[in-house]
Amino acid sequence: MEFDLIELIRTRCTVARADVRLGIGDDAAVLAVPPGHELAVSTDTLVAGVHFPPGTAACDLGWKALAVNLSDLAAMGATPAWSLLALTLPDATREFVDGFIDGYAELAAQHGVALVGGDTTRGPLAIGVTVLGFVAPGRALRRDGAQPGDVVYVTGTLGDAAAGLRCLDRRDAHAHALFNAPPDTREALVERLNRPTPRIAAGSALRGVASACIDVSDGLLADLGHIAERSGVGIEIDADALPASSALLALFERDERLVLQATGGDDYELAFCVPPARAGDVQRDLARLGCGATRIGRVIAGERVRLFDRDGSELVPERSGWDHFG
Ligand code: ADP
Ligand code: MG
């Protein structure tokens, strides 16, 4: 049965690459790294009930499991090439794997990523994906290069995935308004949660331009905190500059919206720093790739990430809103 599932997976992931010397079916894959490149490698696991709500469609899980991994390669400025898939399934139903691999294969095809191996075991539902990509030597985007004076940007819009999660939560205090919202608006947010877009082209375009880069998986402030810490700098963010989708604007008042934008996870946008001399071009260059970017703040000498309201007071996220520090 396990063999059948592996065969099903193999036949459904049809991206073929000449650099895969030996793919699924042997004890290990054999891969040829193109000369003059370094490998960027990353792995992420999704656990049922922790990383996705119960009831998430299998095909959305397949998409998301690969997307969150490709997002890590995007944040490094790497070009994805290969993936491995470790599936732990409670009862290895063909139906689940069928749906799962639909979503996985759809995104893999978009980025030309070959599935070269994995593992299939029985146990509580968990999905581990490993991705490998190429980057020119020494050119990977890192977290530790931000300098005081750099401008801080983020791609796309923020808070949508966290808002989508709230749309699915029937216990949410806001639920009444959410359930009365136009279905299109709710669906747009849930789509952001279930089908994040890894910003591969943007990450590539930022090589040699951005001084530091990270993907927003845990929330903007938390993730920029990693850049601040690794770079030994402080970061100031303007609350009113944070980009919002029309769906988010339609469903949430300002205070609640800012919490989602500044602290909501799962958006998989890129947050990055650019030296002032390069800042002028970066938005135009990304826009040409179909990826909007918004200037949201600045890097300063110091430490920590701080969010400022329009009156200059600092906004500190609390569990259910904001604390104001004048
Ligand atoms: P082994 O006992 O050597 O680990 P497996 O039966 O686990 O062999 O796997 C057989 C082949 O199928 C290997 O090439 C492995 O990489 C591949 N494989 C197993 N599970 C998956 C999966 N979920 N996705 C892709 N390839 C898989
Ligand atoms: Mg195995």
The type of residue at 33 is V
Closest CA to 270 of 288, 253, 258, 282: 282
Q: Candidates 120, 127, 132: which one to mutate for ligand 1, based on the most atoms within 8 Å of Cβ?
A: 120
Which residue matches tokens 């050119």? Answer: 139
Q: Could you read off the pLDDT of 242-251 as tens digits, one per residue? A: 999 999 999 9
> Whose C-alpha lies nearest to ligand 1, atom 24?
118
Torsion angle of alpha carbons 147, 148, 151, 152, nearest 10°? 70
Q: Could you read off the pLDDT of 187-231 as tens digits, one per residue? A: 999 999 999 999 999 999 999 999 999 999 999 999 999 999 999
Q: Could you read off the pLDDT of 264-282 as tens digits, one per residue? A: 999 999 999 999 999 989 9
Closest CA to 74 of 155, 160, 193: 155
- pLDDT of amino acid 325: 65
> Whose C-alpha lies nearest to ligand 1, atom 20?
119
Average pLDDT of every residue of the chain: 94
Q: How far is 176 from 153, CA to CA, in rounded Å?
A: 34
Q: Which atom of ligand 1 is nearest to the CA of 86?
A: 23
- Report CA(131)–ligand 2 centroid distance (Å): 17
Q: Tokens in use for 88?
A: 């732990």
Ligand nearest to the CA of 8: 1
- Report CA(26)–ligand 1 centroid distance (Å): 8
- Report CA(14)–ligand 2 centroid distance (Å): 21
- Report CA(105)–ligand 2 centroid distance (Å): 21
Q: Residue 317's CB: how many other CB atoms inside 10 A?
A: 16
> Whose C-alpha lies nearest to ligand 1, atom 1?
27
Torsion angle of alpha carbons 187, 190, 195, 200, nearest 10°? 100
Q: Tokens in use for 144?
A: 């530790």
Closest CA to 100 of 70, 139, 128, 72: 128
Ligand nearest to the CA of 62: 1
Alpha helices in 235-325 (DSSP H): 246-251, 254-263, 276-288
Q: Residue 43's CB: how many other CB atoms inside 10 A?
A: 14
Closest CA to 205 of 158, 157, 270: 270
Q: Tokens in use for 145?
A: 């290069």
Cβ(42)–Cβ(68) under 8 Å? no
- Report CA(280)–ligand 2 centroid distance (Å): 50
Cβ(133)–Cβ(152) under 8 Å? no
- Report CA(132)–ligand 2 centroid distance (Å): 19
Ligand nearest to the CA of 7: 1
Q: How far is 64 from 282, CA to CA, in rounded Å?
A: 28
Phi, psi of 285 (to 5 degrees): -65, -40
Ligand nearest to the CA of 23: 1
> Whose C-alpha lies nearest to ligand 1, atom 3?
27
Q: Could you read off the pLDDT of 279-308 as tens digits, one per residue? A: 989 999 999 999 999 999 999 999 999 999
- Report CA(82)–ligand 1 centroid distance (Å): 15
- pLDDT of amino acid 130: 98
> Whose C-alpha lies nearest to ligand 1, atom 16?
117
What does the DSSP 8-state code read for residue 150? Answer: P
Ligand 1 neighbours (beta carbon < 6 A): 6, 9, 24-27, 85, 87, 115, 117-120
- The pLDDT-based confidence of 107 (bands split at 50, 70, 90) is very high
HEC letters along 31-82: ECCCCCCEEEEEEEEEEECCCECCCCCHHHHHHHHHHHHHHHHHHHCCEEEE
Q: Which atom of ligand 1 is nearest to the CA of 13?
A: 25
Q: Which atom of ligand 1 is nearest to the CA of 24?
A: 14
Cβ(113)–Cβ(131) under 8 Å? yes
Q: Could you read off the pLDDT of 29-79 as tens digits, one per residue? A: 999 999 999 999 999 999 988 888 888 999 999 999 999 999 999 999 999
- Report CA(94)–ligand 1 centroid distance (Å): 16
Cβ(267)–Cβ(196) under 8 Å? yes
